[in-house]
Structure 1
């Protein structure tokens, strides 16, 4: 995989989700139509509306989905789904803002395509503030920084997820039966600490990220999608059966736990980085807004349904990942393993984005002879870094909430509304639109600050309540 592409002006910010990047189109200005109407690479070789919809769904449904039942618990059985609905509407609106600003910039600058970072950079160049125009390049750097933090945060989550699920499967192996209907108490056989499980996965993930070819990674993506889809079907099949009386569940949870809900929810909704690459790959990009709203409506409904049903089914016993609450029988143990396999292969796809941003910085400073050695060495260091961070923060719920609060809120809620103001302010904006954008950014920033503080507080002084304990000890089926 060539890294020269990353050093030039046409570098595309890839999705901060699980969609694999593909070949970038030519950025020649002669290819861009002179007409004022918007057209972006309407090539016959592009993706169809259905393929784009599938990629959009794949890019927004990952590990964050499995943590939503605990998120609903942290908000309340009434406040949780309502908040997910509102957050989904706002997140989709911000995605639409990004697409609109990118289209406007493409028309104004006669560029065929701009990525997320370039959109922010050119938006700042159109700002009425001379200081922002002078420092517009920092906009691109900020987006790249948050993409790196988000993606490496995902990788940390994967380490914790793999360790927790494999640890539970191994510890329950002696008591695992073929009867998934029994309500017997399962006493797990203690094994090694979850941190040792993380270290056990480290060499295999290092070997996985040595695969630098995108076509090879697409095979892993297919395996991940199949295993995760089968697992989700089995999870839904279980949680809809025999739902207990929900009247004992609080409608609104303690306000102190709501920031943890925010971090987990925005972690799940953080798919804004995928919209511009997907739109650019379409053969009819003018239809992308409809696909965006249809796809994200499906995603929001899946989020709300799994979050509510999972919490209704397991109540106060819900854990950081709903897979940890599944019955101790071979059928659902295989579900945990299947989803874990999907997460394992997805690690390479998530790792690709920060690798493509960071590695060229080091390779550009050595001769061609040492380029491969430096490339592989940096990959090893980055994987080890995610493993160390996961070991330091072994609670899955807090890792998800912290990553969501720190970086996902910035990419999904804070930056897009401010981008709309800087892009269109000099051309005239209604006061209502400006007020709306400021309100979204302020709320996103509040969530960023409060969510980060609460997650760090829980890490420093972990709650004694089992509600927050991400344990894989004995549990009742």
Structure 2
């Protein structure tokens, strides 16, 4: 028996699930709640704006295709992570560790860049979820400002000041350090989001809407903005790995029906329905969140604006978990053990301040969503999973190398989304900045 065959036998005998020692494991229901909340949020309510860019017909088809591709990419990434756990004989691997392990167990030419692959993945994760935190800050600030501008007109302030005011409550909330304790918050946030979704549907159907004047296919030049928004809304790959690794029964995460497939099916249905109906109702005047289009003088709409702000507020620490996990890994070992608790408090507060600072500098909700979706989520959720899947299975790419061809198409699709989405968004930001200075 050759050394490679021996290693393969040993890997097949090793079951990582039996060796996992998770301090506070999550049940299937809690895992589903966290996973749905990771994919739902500001993205759900931004979907109607995406449909105004694509047209309702192309939007429905595009949403279904992107949902399928994103779910497949998340599935193959978790599958590779579990295979790498067996190959490396380790119980748990993070997103970046999976990238390193896939290259380490790939062809010889790829093994020497395994460390670089891990560092690149960690940098992409950090930038992505810092961007998400910035989006959440601006969205909460926009919702609060709209309410207070109406009911406290004597104290009208710019949205930048609301970003600064949010610093205190956000700094307190991010001190929660275990996913187990975030699950109840995610459940409450999901409930509030569903109620907000129902209220949006109420206003959509309240006075009816017209379909005849709505575009089936929108302006092709705006289609990259649609792709960016939907990918941002649909993707949660950075949170998928921590959530999957914290499961009490991780073998139930994949499969059909598995936690991942159930969560993504629910997400896709919600996105498609609200996207097309919201576009039918409000057309081309849609804003970054559909709740901002609701009337400001009707109590259900007021509740919706409050609920979405609270829902996003409760979701903030779940995405923040990825950022703090990465920074703690590199910074905490340099801190004396006696000061590590204080270090955690200060670090978490500083990151909140950084995200609020970005919100103050660029309070453009739609454009921040598009840049994060096109640049970072295309990279994390589409391009990287397809690459490591091909690298890890380099010895068995299927008949006629169909795995390689399939993954190549995903990489090409992700690259198109990345380049075109970034280009359109940068021009949009320049236009907005020029408009502010005029």
Q: TM-score range by the shorter chain?
A: 0.7 to 0.9
Pairs within 5 Å for 1:381-392: 381-392=350-361
Q: Distance in 1 between matches of 2:239 and 2:324?
A: 17
Match of 1:126 among 94, 105, 116: 105
Q: Per-residue displacement from partner, 1:383-440 (whole Å, max 9, x unpaired)?
A: 1111111112211111111111121111111011111110011244432221121111
- Are 1:288 and 2:267 an aligned pair? no
Q: Distance in 2 between matches of 1:151 and 1:78?
A: 31
Which residue of structure 2 aligns with residue 324 of structure 1? 292
Match of 2:268 among 300, 307, 321: 300
- Are 1:221 and 2:186 an aligned pair? yes
Which residue of structure 2 aligns with residue 179 of structure 1? none
Equivalenced residues, count: 421
Q: Is the 8 A contact 1:163 1:194 kept in 2?
A: yes
Q: Is the 8 A contact 1:167 1:197 kept in 2?
A: yes
Pairs within 5 Å for 1:382-421: 382-421=351-390
Which segment is superposed worse, 312-321 or 100-109?
Answer: 100-109
Match of 1:379 among 348, 351, 356: 348
Match of 1:75 among 38, 54, 67: 54
Q: Is the 8 A contact 1:38 1:286 kept in 2?
A: no
Q: Distance in 2 between matches of 1:349 and 1:61?
A: 12
Q: Distance in 2 between matches of 1:87 and 1:371?
A: 42
User: Offset at 1:360?
Assistant: 4.3
Q: Is the 8 A contact 2:193 2:308 kept in 1?
A: yes
Distance 1:236 1:411, change over 3 A: same
Q: Per-residue displacement from partner, 1:366-398 (whole Å, max 9, x unpaired)?
A: 333443443333223211111111112211111
User: Offset at 1:261?
Assistant: 1.1
Q: Distance in 1 between matches of 2:46 and 2:70?
A: 18
- Are 1:169 and 2:139 an aligned pair? no
Unmatched runs of 5 consecutive residues or more in structure 2: 1-8
Match of 1:237 among 185, 199, 202: 202
- Are 1:62 and 2:65 an aligned pair? no
Secondary structure of the structure 2 residue equivalent to 1:163: helix
Q: Distance in 2 between matches of 1:213 and 1:296?
A: 24
Match of 2:66 among 87, 93, 98: 87
Unmatched runs of 5 consecutive residues or more in structure 1: 1-31, 175-187, 470-477
Secondary structure of the structure 2 residue equivalent to 1:289: coil
Q: Per-residue displacement from partner, 1:330-377 (whole Å, max 9, x unpaired)?
A: 221121112101212222222222112113433322333443443333
- Are 1:135 and 2:113 an aligned pair? yes
Secondary structure of the structure 1 residue equivalent to 2:79: helix
Q: Distance in 2 between matches of 1:214 and 1:53?
A: 13
Distance 1:137 1:460, change over 3 A: same
- Are 1:203 and 2:182 an aligned pair? no
Distance 1:92 1:212, change over 3 A: closer
Q: Distance in 2 between matches of 1:61 and 1:156?
A: 16
Q: Distance in 1 between matches of 2:244 and 2:340?
A: 33
Q: Per-residue displacement from partner, 1:288-333 (whole Å, max 9, x unpaired)?
A: 3212223312211111111111111111221110000112212211
Which segment is superposed worse, 70-79 or 249-258?
Answer: 249-258
User: Offset at 1:463?
Assistant: 9.3
Q: Distance in 1 between matches of 2:327 and 2:250?
A: 33
Per the normalisation by structure 2, the TM-score is: 0.87
- Are 1:149 and 2:127 an aligned pair? yes
Q: Is the 8 A contact 1:33 1:39 kept in 2?
A: no
